[in-house]
Structure 1
Amino acid sequence: MTATLIDGKSFAAGLRQRIAEHTAAMKERGITPGLAVVLVGEDPASQVYVRSKGKQTRETGMNSFEHRLPADTPEAELLALVGQLNEDPAVNGILVQLPLPGHMDEAAVINAIRPEKDVDGFHILNVGRLATGQKAMVPCTPLGSLMLLRDQLGSLSGKNALVIGRSNIVGKPMAQLLLRDSATVTIAHSRTCDLPDLCRTADIVIAAVGRAHFVKGDWIKPGATVIDVGINRTDDGLVGDVDFAAASQVAGAITPVPGGVGPMTIACLLANTLTATARANGLPDPEGLTP
């Protein structure tokens, strides 16, 4: 058996096209969505990511505002910038690129962003709203993973879903989204006892543990759908948390790395910016862009 390849790159391209169409319609009303990205320091990977965000933001017709600060910028200066962006009506979404330099309190910076402009979905109010089933800004990677699952499987109701990873960025919000779609959800991690056997019971596996090839092919239930969130740099290039070669012989469908979940993250960031813009202007949420 060879698994169906879940093409996140293609899906993300289609999503960006829909976002561009929604953006054009908003601009006809005199509203232009704006995304502000703040980068502190010179981390090469973050610089590449920020450039890509800016490019894709502009390609969909949105305004892109980039702010680059030296690594030794005082935290108070960053918080002041966030405060200015909170008050700027041209800015509908604010993203502060993580990780921040060690002298900064990431939680304090994230929670300084107005919840309605928190397009990363990391603010404590958005976390609480998601957990309690209220309208929230949803973290981009879990949102993109959910979109891929729905596209592949249709209804997730009653499916046994295993989330491997308990981070605030992926694991926990992913579990909340799956619960909202009426899946039966288990959260596991690297210290879970009998993890291989647990994995073999899952119709859906979300791997977000941050270890190259951590999930083995013989852990996968035949026909299961596997979403590999991991991005690990190895001597063989970028690989996921799942042993793709082995798992693809067992799974029903699987995301590759790269080209699976990764492209969805920026596309969902733009979707969140569009949603934030609609809400700020009293418009309905754009169809198909929110959970």
Structure 2
Amino acid sequence: MWAQGRIGAQLLSRFVGLQRPMGLMSWDGSRRGRATLISGQMVADQILHGLKDKIQRLETIGIQPCLVPVVVGQDPVSQIYLRKKLEAARAIGLRMRIQHVPAEVSSAELMALLDHLNRDEHVHGIIVQLPLPSALNAIDIGNAIQPAKDVDGFTQQNLGALVQSSEVARLSILNHIPCTATAVKKILEIGLAGHDWTGQRAVVIGRSLNVGLPIALVLESDRQNGGFDMTTTICHRNTVDLGASTRHADVLVTATGVPNLIRPEMVKPGAVVIDVGLNRIKLSDRVKLVGDCHPGVWDVAGYMTPVPGGVGPCTVASLMYNSVLAANRTAIRLSV
């Protein structure tokens, strides 16, 4: 029972007050030679730090944080992501209730399932694993999730709040910021702690509503409000003379899904390169996961995220954070 509203206020205070961990390394824009690897797993561990304790505190007051991934069909790439999410959830004690549905499911049937999950008070976060079969409209399906439970941050309300609000720090408490954008934010904040990015140039290659655009918005937002105050340019795979833009970037984020798109001559020496791309390349004896960057970029960049092991673990950790935050909001609502 929730006898006193102060319980919810205390929970919010503890959640917002998530201890900021020490940075993994400092940034030096004059750096040359082989790039220093930014370990995504180390950053992810920092994000997950403290979530286990927060879950235990919620459990003492009757709330078991629960995330429900809805998996349509058996897409192999989707299964890889799902396993990583399940591992992270188990590590922090987050309940994860996977809902499998056949690839032939109709839009009406999937909407009905989401409506049921929206009304289930024991479910705090809902995600629909992408990609979906071509017969289903991913935007319509995504918008069927209640915004408070949209821990991927893909609904019109959550994306719209990010576009309209300059207060990224406050927004991350009131709404869900897409997980990949949060991952890039944390890589810069934790992995390259202590650097003031104000006014420096960022180039984001990729314009998707779920990845590229939210990343650009976070990078360009006012630093005093939780952003980075960077001068940000959005490009894409069809940008004419892409290198003319990327060669000026102090921070280069690529999220196109095109292997070897970014070549060494397109990168400013000493730049920070965050490779969001995840591509499956078939070799004679195996399948290899690679990003968007040519291997030679490591000889030009100052700092760089690997693929795999870079943005991916941070994105999964950000999903866990959003899921615990959603459960915490439930505690606050019930305590009022």
Q: Determine if the TM-score, normalized by the shorter chain, exceeds 0.5.
A: yes
Give the aligned partner of residue 217 of structure 2: 176
Corresponding position: 1:146 with 2:185: yes
Corresponding position: 1:160 with 2:201: yes
1:207 CA displacement? 0.6
Q: Hey, what's the Cα distance between the residues in 1 that align with 2:80 and 2:193?
A: 33
Residues 86 and 113 of structure 1 are in contact (CA less than 8 Å); yes or no, is this contact kept in structure 2?
yes
Counterpart amino acid of residue 200 in structure 2? K
Q: Hey, what's the Cα distance between the residues in 2 that align with 1:52 and 1:8?
A: 13
CA deviations 1:98-140 (Å, max 9, x no partner) are 1222222221111110011101111011111001116221111
Give the aligned partner of residue 109 of structure 2: 77
Q: Hey, what's the Cα distance between the residues in 1 that align with 2:233 and 2:106?
A: 41
In the TM superposition, 1:33-52 aligns within 5 A as: 33-52=65-84
Greater CA deviation, 130-139 or 76-85?
Answer: 130-139
Q: How many equivalent residue pairs? A: 282
1:273 CA displacement? 0.5
CA deviations 1:25-79 (Å, max 9, x no partner) are 3223332211011111122222332233233213211111111011112221111
Give the aligned partner of residue 250 of structure 2: 203
Give the aligned partner of residue 242 of structure 1: 293
Give the aligned partner of residue 282 of structure 1: 332
Q: Hey, what's the Cα distance between the residues in 2 that align with 1:53 and 1:239?
A: 20
Corresponding position: 1:20 with 2:52: yes
Corresponding position: 1:272 with 2:333: no
Give the aligned partner of residue 107 of structure 1: 139
Bigger relative CO (Cα 8 Å, ≥ 6 apart): 2
Give the aligned partner of residue 279 of structure 2: 232
Give the aligned partner of residue 212 of structure 1: 259
CA RMSD of aligned residues (A): 1.6
Say which one has the larger Rg.
2
Q: Hey, what's the Cα distance between the residues in 2 that align with 1:197 and 1:161?
A: 13
In structure 1, stretches of 5+ residues that fail to align are 284-291
Residues 67 and 323 of structure 2 are in contact (CA less than 8 Å); yes or no, is this contact kept in structure 1?
yes
User: Helix, strand or coil for the counterpart of 2:253?
Assistant: strand
Greater CA deviation, 123-132 or 50-59?
Answer: 50-59
Give the aligned partner of residue 189 of structure 1: 236
Q: Hey, what's the Cα distance between the residues in 1 that align with 2:76 and 2:97?
A: 19
Counterpart amino acid of residue 178 in structure 2? P
Q: Hey, what's the Cα distance between the residues in 1 that align with 2:273 and 2:80?
A: 27
Residues 43 and 186 of structure 2 are in contact (CA less than 8 Å); yes or no, is this contact kept in structure 1?
no
1:190 CA displacement? 1.6
Q: Hey, what's the Cα distance between the residues in 1 that align with 2:80 and 2:204?
A: 29
Residues 218 and 246 of structure 1 are in contact (CA less than 8 Å); yes or no, is this contact kept in structure 2?
no
Corresponding position: 1:87 with 2:119: yes
When normalised by structure 2's length, the TM-score is 0.80
Residues 153 and 192 of structure 1: is their aligned pair in 2 closer, same or farther, counting only changes over 3 Å? farther
Give the aligned partner of residue 258 of structure 1: 308
Corresponding position: 1:98 with 2:145: no
Q: Hey, what's the Cα distance between the residues in 2 that align with 1:235 and 1:95?
A: 29
Residues 275 and 311 of structure 2 are in contact (CA less than 8 Å); yes or no, is this contact kept in structure 1?
yes
Counterpart amino acid of residue 9 in structure 1? Q
Equivalent position to 2:96, from 34, 44, 64: 64
| 4+ residue segments displaced more than 6 Å | none
Q: Hey, what's the Cα distance between the residues in 1 that align with 2:193 and 2:264?
A: 21
Greater CA deviation, 104-113 or 48-57?
Answer: 48-57
Counterpart amino acid of residue 160 in structure 1? R
User: Helix, strand or coil for the counterpart of 1:21?
Assistant: helix
Q: Hey, what's the Cα distance between the residues in 2 that align with 1:48 and 1:208?
A: 18
CA deviations 1:178-197 (Å, max 9, x no partner) are 11221111001122222212
Corresponding position: 1:137 with 2:188: no
1:153 CA displacement? 4.6
